A = this chain, B = another copy of it.
Amino acid sequence: MAKEIINREENYSLWYNNLVIKADLAENSAVRGCMVIKPYGYAIWEKIQAQLDKMFKETGHENAYFPLFIPKSFLSKEAEHVEGFAKECAVVTHHRLMANPDGPGVVVDPDAKLEEELVVRPTSETIIWSTYKNWIKSYRDLPLLINQWANVVRWEMRTRLFLRTTEFLWQEGHTAHATQAEAIEETERMVQVYAKFAREYMSMPVIVGRKSESERFAGALDTLCIEAMMQDGKALQAGTSHFLGQNFAKAFDVQFANKEGGLEYVWATSWGVSTRLMGALVMAHSDNNGLVLPPKLAPIQVVMVPIFKTDEEHESILIKMNEIKQKLTALGISSKIDDRDNLRSGFKFAEWELKGVPVRIAVGPRDMEKGTVELARRDTLAKEFVSQEGIEIHIQKLLDDIQANIYKKALDFRDANTVKVDDYETFKKRIEEGGFLLCHWDGTAETEEKIKNDTKATIRCIPMENAEEEEGFCVYSGKPSRQRVIFARAY
């Protein structure tokens, strides 16, 4: 197929956009900032959903569904929360259209104005905690461990497919606990679930850490996150888990009777990942030939392309491919035989590379004679001839190998692009090259702000895993510090 994506090295941003569109993941819609997720992209999202949902259930959570709309007054019950979301929300003001009295089409019916405007949920803390007030009476009702799969809307001014869209799909966990300690434990448990998912399923190394105060969720006391490095060296926040303290319980007056019969406010967490993960998946692994999907999230793990001249050849190759397909299916490996009659095999190869299918099998008449297939792996583009006999076992191992190799490649890249920096002049130069800068920081929002204004770099997180205490001096102010934090430019 015609090469239609620009090279990554030439224009990373355009390369990403080309890829998302050409690989049939998503496209812009007729509605400003909203995307259409196309079937191939949605199939990947379904795999992400299925695995996360399983992990949420294994950790004791249940799904539920809360309204799309939030009464305007609810948003302002938590002071920081409204500050964070009021400026970018879709507001429903009317409930009816009418025929245009002055011409064709329809107009808003002025008589159908709502008494109180409704906001399309940007996140659901307020509507959920107003509901929890009725659900939580006693310590026996706790913990309450609920997740919701939903669409949310934030009126973004600059949007990019998957990374930042006006409407996006996500899950939001909202849990209620009797004690602060339990809520903090839940916050940490869920950020670890996200880290495990990113590493084992997306093959994406992530750093688990804590946000600085200025990067916290609006209404949270503490925000934990997973941060990944993209191939241009920029950081991408891939998931967050918030310890909300008693803020929302107080805003919505949610108290429970403890074992001693006293009343206490409930402790809360919330945590979420979104279709933004799709953007991370694309940017973490893809190359100039297209997507590179980790096998565990690939809708099609193996594609088979027959190569033939005569009808007899065609028929015998298809019989063999169907045999292989059956054996793969028995091992739980998904495959597709691309038998389209109007396309050359070279075109098909390029198309499946573009779509990131991990393994490609080609079989021609010579292969049939020799009892072999040509096997190509998407991650390294390496080819080999292997026996048709036992090929399903070979592929099973190969898929595991690809899953691990993609991870290692991304980890090596991150390691190669992570440096300790101890003076601000070096910082300002080094940040231009991208990557993570491990620096001492004096812990103040002022320093953070100044560095951001100078360099566009923000504190991505204060690492929590393998975080060594280390005495040092703030890279900006020279004041004392006890741990390095990660600075980077970010999506």
Binding site for B on A (CB under 8 A): 27, 29-31, 34-39, 42-43, 45-46, 62-76, 82, 86-99, 104-106, 108, 117-120, 127, 130-131, 134, 140, 146, 150-151, 153, 155, 167, 169, 342
Contact = CB atoms under 8 A, between A and B. Distances in A.
Contact of A97 (B65, B72, B92, B95): B72
B105 A73 contact: yes
A135 to B, nearest CB: 8
Contacts of A37: 64-65
A71 B31 CA distance: 7
Nearest to A89: B97
Contacts of A66: 29, 36
Given A46-B63, A64-B39, A68-B34, A87 B91 contact: no
A277 B413 CA distance: 51
Given A36-B66, A69-B167, A167-B68, A88 B96 contact: yes
A96 B106 contact: no
Given A91-B95, A127-B31, A151-B68, A86 B62 contact: no
B96 A93 contact: no
Contact of A86 (B42, B43, B96): B96
B86 A140 contact: no
A483 to B, nearest CB: 38
A106 B72 contact: yes
A83 to B, nearest CB: 9
18 contacts: A30-B127, A31-B71, A31-B118, A39-B146, A42-B63, A42-B64, A42-B65, A43-B62, A46-B63, A68-B153, A72-B106, A75-B97, A76-B105, A86-B97, A87-B97, A89-B96, A97-B119, A151-B151
Contacts of A86: 96-99, 106
Q: Which of A70, A94, A98, A130 has the most CB of B within 10 A?
A: A94
A153 B45 CA distance: 24
Given A36-B67, A93-B94, A342 B140 contact: yes
A490 to B, nearest CB: 24
B118 A108 contact: no
A120 B31 CA distance: 12
Chain A contact surface mostly: mixed
A227 B86 CA distance: 45
B106 A95 contact: no
A67 B35 contact: yes
A117 B93 CA distance: 10
Contact of A62 (B42, B93, B95, B99): B42
Contacts of A88: 95-96
A106 B82 contact: yes
A83 B377 CA distance: 54
Contacts of A74: 30
A90 B92 contact: yes
Given A36-B131, A62-B43, A30 B97 contact: no
A90 to B, nearest CB: 5
B153 A34 contact: no
Contacts of A71: 30-31
A92 B91 contact: yes
Contacts of A38: 64
A127 B91 contact: no
A95 B32 CA distance: 12
- 3 A-B pairs with least C-beta separation: A34-B67, A39-B62, A37-B65
A87 B96 CA distance: 5
Nearest to A40: B62
A96 B45 CA distance: 30
Contacts of A118: 31, 90
A146 B94 CA distance: 31
A92 B95 contact: no
Contacts of A131: 29-30, 36
Given A43-B62, A88-B96, A67 B31 contact: yes
Contacts of A106: 72, 75-76, 82, 86
B167 A31 contact: no
Contacts of A98: 86-87
Given A69-B167, A72-B105, 15 more contacts: A29-B67, A31-B71, A42-B62, A42-B63, A67-B167, A73-B105, A76-B104, A86-B97, A90-B92, A91-B93, A91-B94, A91-B108, A93-B108, A120-B120, A151-B151
